[in-house]
Structure 1
Amino acid sequence: MDPLVNELKRKLDSLKSSMAQLEEDSPPGIMVAKVGHLTRNVRNGEYDPDHVSIGPYNYHWQIPTQQDKLRSLAVVLSAAEEPSMTVEVYLKELAFLEDKARSYYANTFDGITKHQFVHMLLLDGCYILSRFASFPAKHTAHVAGAARSSAFAASLEDLAVVRDVFFLAENQIPFFVLEKIGELTVSDGKALVGRCIADHALELMKAQRYAVAAPAMVPPELTAPENLLHLLHMHLKPQETDVLLPGRGATGTGNGAADKTVSSVGRWRTATEYSYAGVEFRSQEMSEKGGVRCILDVKLDSGGGTLVVPRLDIDNETWRLLRNLMGLEQRNREAVGSHVTAYCIFMSQLASDRKDVEMLSKRGVIVHAHGNDGEVAQHFADLCKGITFDKSDPNINYLWDTRQKLDKRSRSYRRRWMAWLRRKYFSNPWLAVGLLAAAIGLVCELVQAVYSALSYKQA
């Protein structure tokens, strides 16, 4: 037994040393991790790149060809202000960041050598910057075909690049790598890279109608992204979500939800079920100055009878983006919260049937280009499969209070009866007139019966 005891003690000492080292190194708040198998298996293809592989998780894919990435390197080198900025200088500077860059991944990638890892960071970083950053190129005649401006979104190839580079949780490199390459290239390169990519991300979110502003990118709370998917995630934060801040305990103040006694919260009811309880659905356009700034800004009016849901424009990439954002949150809940996951669970249960999608489409809450409403409903039904989320915890579910109020309303027999009456008789004006006439006739008959009874009694 002694050898076994000594071996376990040695491994425990090594583990303690490793944990102490991690604490000293202050590991990043946001990790790039593989999407869980239960989630990935639902729609496996929505997590894999089709046009460009970025980072170590997809290192083996080698798409596009190395020749394409080499042309991007040439574009960046041609824009360098200092002639001394050669390939060797870039590689040497990135080699100093290798350990830090590796720490941003949940995997160790022992099969990728130091040389290969640095080589990958340089080529992938230059590929991204050649697409999304506007360097003032000095002598690019021989590589002009490789340079792209920020107005590139017209071609299908460029749309595929946007999807692969921005949307995929596993297809990422740390943002500081891009900043370092920019810093080596031009004097204000770090700021230039941050500004160009942030502007492009904002335009992307506006074009897709997901958000109109990014509060985390606005001073005085200027926060740099950890990677490009995180940059998109920073645009999707519902207003008035103090209880959702990372690290907030159940005793926080915020909007009051966390101070209430936490009770179990079941699934959301469908849109049709809420309609039967008298809940109206209303769509609202987003505005930087208005009360709706992103698709997560779901609001219940003070009377509890109208649910305002920002319009969601759905195409094939909507599901990919939402799934990968949830993947980011699943691994980094303490750092980024669970806002997108809470929203996706809400929408997936609200619109899980064809009739629900049809109703929400008529109200302008959902706009889609799919073949039929049933196809959209199936996408919603599959959206959150394999996702881990405690919807009963108000500290991570920003819609907890809304869910409680709607549930209370749905269990009210009086409200359900009134909603049924309005739906059956008052939705058609002629039926309403007929019902009113019948009511008046009934009242007249009652009055006549009373007078007849009184007359008979007096006689």
Structure 2
Amino acid sequence: MDHQGQSSGSDSVVLEMDSLLNELKRKLKSLKSSKAQPQEDSFPRIMVAKVGHLRRNVCNSEYDPDHVSIGPYNHPRQLPTQQDKVRSLLTVLSAAEEEEPSMTVEVYLKELACLEDKARRYYANTFDDITSDQFVHMLLLDGCYILSRFASFPAKHTAHAAGATRSSAFAAELEDLAVVRDVFFLAENQIPFFVLEKIGELTVPGGSAHVGKWIADHALELMKAQRYAVAAPAMVPPELTAPENLLHLLHMHLKPQETDALLPTATGKGAADDKPVSSVGRWRTATEYSYAGVNFKSQEMSEKGGVRCILDVKLDSGGGTLEVPRLDIDNETWRLLRNLMELEQRNREAVGSYVTAYCVFMSQLASDKKDVELLSKRGVIVHAHGNDGEVAQHFADLCKGIMFDTSEPKINYLWDIRQKLEKRSRSYPRRWMAWLKRKYFSNPWLAVGLLAAAVGLVCAIVQAVYSVLSYKQGWN
């Protein structure tokens, strides 16, 4: 009996091992298959991934769509715009039929089916629960919805126009804002840009190029309206020549000018310092820098100037004035910045970490009510929140859960500026002079009194010296 029992237990172990072996073989085969993809797909792609739990726990709502779900991560989410997607498909088909009467929905499905494998590789998840038919169906409806909103197809009727007739102009404007927020701003709510280009190519002659221009123009106007950037990005090597998705398109506008000049030298030292001042990478607050004699100056952006986006932070040649582009803050500012940082967290080698470096800088610079008050007075921050304390709390929470080392010069484009400001902040003569200026020269009457006292002291010293000299001459 014991022998039979041992044999039965051994058989179960063998069965479990066989099951485990088959599962591992399947995974290895899948991995080898993904590595064997054509060379054209081997460049660093912008991966669309789920937002990490640490960042979601801070503010979960900043990453979820409220109006329209796009892409496989939000595929099961039932939002009011599902029927609008079908109307958008009709809009695209109507535009296609005006150019080519034989164009049917079957053609679109077949063409997108050929892109399914490539599109799936742009996501960190495999989505095994979404069938091929469901995935292609999703790409078609989501792509048509985006294009019906942001492309200028020559259709007689658009889904957006039809929706506008059913609601007031004000409601339509609110809907437009909600669509922009969900479609452009959210890291998870994305489909590959080449899907949009393919739909455009099937719809109108030269549609692929037209789609790129239409959406790029819309993105630029959006960045200008929000005062985040005023000029189109330079889409030339080593930059990617085209965006991978709509959030990446916005990210391409946010690159500081003269980046190479801002970075430290290859030896890891600052341009003006022999060695780093401190291994601690935290920025001081605005009030602390002010106590050390650092002035803050708001910079206006210009297409022809050296300030083209909010990331163009500069320190003047004397090291006493920090020039920061004006940041206009509204309720969507935090959402956009968080999702841009999420894009960089997942794709640092492909897109860099400029936005993360900027957000860490601002979150530590303006982490207290007094800091926000100071920066608001200098015009660096403009906000419509209830009070400065609320804005400071938003800044304090902005980078929670973000992995970023400000002490690493290779990823922090503001590293050299922080080194120079830290050196200035540790200078006791500069701190003393700044205290004297703040204590006595901020008030004109105190300044006059101090000047009068200094003049009186000088006169008293001169009189004393004169009296001594007169006494000695008389004695002689």
Verify same fold: TM over 0.5.
yes
- Judged with a 3 Å threshold, the aligned counterparts in structure 2 of structure 1 residues 155 and 142 are, in CA distance, closer, same or farther, namely closer
The 5-angstrom pairing of residues 17-166 of structure 1 reads 17-18=32-33, 20-21=35-36, 24=39, 25-26=41-42, 28-80=44-96, 81-137=99-155, 139-140=156-157, 145=162, 155-166=173-184
2:409 corresponds in structure 1 to 394
Using the TM superposition, give the Cα deviation of residue 454 of structure 1 relative to its aligned residue in structure 2, in angstroms: 2.9
The answer to whether the 8 Å contact 1:251/1:259 transfers is no
Q: How many residues align?
A: 453
SS of structure 2 residue aligned to 1:316: coil
- Judged with a 3 Å threshold, the aligned counterparts in structure 2 of structure 1 residues 200 and 142 are, in CA distance, closer, same or farther, namely closer
SS of structure 2 residue aligned to 1:395: coil
Q: In structure 2, what residue type is equivalent to 1:181? A: I
The answer to whether the 8 Å contact 2:277/2:423 transfers is no
2:447 corresponds in structure 1 to 432
The answer to whether the 8 Å contact 1:75/1:143 transfers is no
Return 224-233 or 429-438, whichever deviates more. Answer: 429-438
Distance in structure 1 (CA, Å) of the matches to 2:160 and 2:293: 63
Return 22-31 or 110-119, whichever deviates more. Answer: 22-31
- Judged with a 3 Å threshold, the aligned counterparts in structure 2 of structure 1 residues 397 and 259 are, in CA distance, closer, same or farther, namely farther
The answer to whether the 8 Å contact 1:104/1:174 transfers is yes
Distance in structure 2 (CA, Å) of the matches to 1:443 and 1:258: 40
- Judged with a 3 Å threshold, the aligned counterparts in structure 2 of structure 1 residues 256 and 305 are, in CA distance, closer, same or farther, namely closer
Using the TM superposition, give the Cα deviation of residue 448 of structure 1 relative to its aligned residue in structure 2, in angstroms: 1.6
- Judged with a 3 Å threshold, the aligned counterparts in structure 2 of structure 1 residues 243 and 42 are, in CA distance, closer, same or farther, namely farther
Using the TM superposition, give the Cα deviation of residue 64 of structure 1 relative to its aligned residue in structure 2, in angstroms: 3.1
Distance in structure 2 (CA, Å) of the matches to 1:16 and 1:237: 35
- Judged with a 3 Å threshold, the aligned counterparts in structure 2 of structure 1 residues 260 and 74 are, in CA distance, closer, same or farther, namely farther
1:450 corresponds in structure 2 to 465
The 5-angstrom pairing of residues 208-287 of structure 1 reads 208-217=226-235, 223-242=241-260, 251=266, 264-287=279-302
Using the TM superposition, give the Cα deviation of residue 219 of structure 1 relative to its aligned residue in structure 2, in angstroms: 9.6
Distance in structure 2 (CA, Å) of the matches to 1:78 and 1:152: 28
SS of structure 2 residue aligned to 1:145: helix
| Deviation digits for residues 17-74 of structure 1 (CA, Å, limit 9, x no counterpart) | 3564258551652100111110111010000000000000000113234321100000
- Judged with a 3 Å threshold, the aligned counterparts in structure 2 of structure 1 residues 338 and 258 are, in CA distance, closer, same or farther, namely farther
SS of structure 1 residue aligned to 2:234: helix
| Deviation digits for residues 271-323 of structure 1 (CA, Å, limit 9, x no counterpart) | 00000000000001100011110000000000000000000000000000000
Distance in structure 1 (CA, Å) of the matches to 2:262 and 2:451: 50
- Judged with a 3 Å threshold, the aligned counterparts in structure 2 of structure 1 residues 272 and 233 are, in CA distance, closer, same or farther, namely same
Using the TM superposition, give the Cα deviation of residue 240 of structure 1 relative to its aligned residue in structure 2, in angstroms: 1.3
- Judged with a 3 Å threshold, the aligned counterparts in structure 2 of structure 1 residues 99 and 28 are, in CA distance, closer, same or farther, namely farther
SS of structure 1 residue aligned to 2:390: helix
Structure 2 residues not aligned, in runs of 5+: 1-9
- Judged with a 3 Å threshold, the aligned counterparts in structure 2 of structure 1 residues 153 and 329 are, in CA distance, closer, same or farther, namely farther
The answer to whether the 8 Å contact 1:258/1:394 transfers is no
- Judged with a 3 Å threshold, the aligned counterparts in structure 2 of structure 1 residues 284 and 244 are, in CA distance, closer, same or farther, namely closer
1:342 corresponds in structure 2 to 357
| Deviation digits for residues 431-451 of structure 1 (CA, Å, limit 9, x no counterpart) | 111111100111111112222
Which of 194, 198, 217 is matched with 1:199 structurally? 217
Q: In structure 2, what residue type is equivalent to 1:57? A: Y
2:320 corresponds in structure 1 to 305
The answer to whether the 8 Å contact 1:71/1:146 transfers is no
SS of structure 2 residue aligned to 1:124: helix
1:183 corresponds in structure 2 to 201
Q: In structure 1, what residue type is equivalent to 2:428? A: Y
The alignment-based identity, stated in percent, is: 81
Q: In structure 1, what residue type is equivalent to 2:390? A: E
Which of 433, 449, 452 is matched with 1:418 structurally? 433
- The yes-or-no answer on 1:354 pairing with 2:369 is yes
Distance in structure 2 (CA, Å) of the matches to 1:413 and 1:356: 22
Distance in structure 1 (CA, Å) of the matches to 2:272 and 2:407: 11
| Deviation digits for residues 196-247 of structure 1 (CA, Å, limit 9, x no counterpart) | 10000000000000000122347997721000000000000001113899xx
Using the TM superposition, give the Cα deviation of residue 260 of structure 1 relative to its aligned residue in structure 2, in angstroms: 7.0
The answer to whether the 8 Å contact 2:228/2:309 transfers is yes
- Judged with a 3 Å threshold, the aligned counterparts in structure 2 of structure 1 residues 252 and 233 are, in CA distance, closer, same or farther, namely farther
Distance in structure 1 (CA, Å) of the matches to 2:317 and 2:43: 44
1:384 corresponds in structure 2 to 399
SS of structure 2 residue aligned to 1:283: strand
So what's the TM-score if we normalise by structure 2?
Answer: 0.88
Distance in structure 1 (CA, Å) of the matches to 2:404 and 2:51: 15
Distance in structure 1 (CA, Å) of the matches to 2:135 and 2:159: 28
Distance in structure 2 (CA, Å) of the matches to 1:359 and 1:370: 16
Q: In structure 1, what residue type is equivalent to 2:69? A: S
So what's the TM-score if we normalise by structure 1?
Answer: 0.91
Distance in structure 1 (CA, Å) of the matches to 2:43 and 2:315: 39
Distance in structure 2 (CA, Å) of the matches to 1:296 and 1:153: 34
The answer to whether the 8 Å contact 2:93/2:103 transfers is yes
- The yes-or-no answer on 1:331 pairing with 2:346 is yes
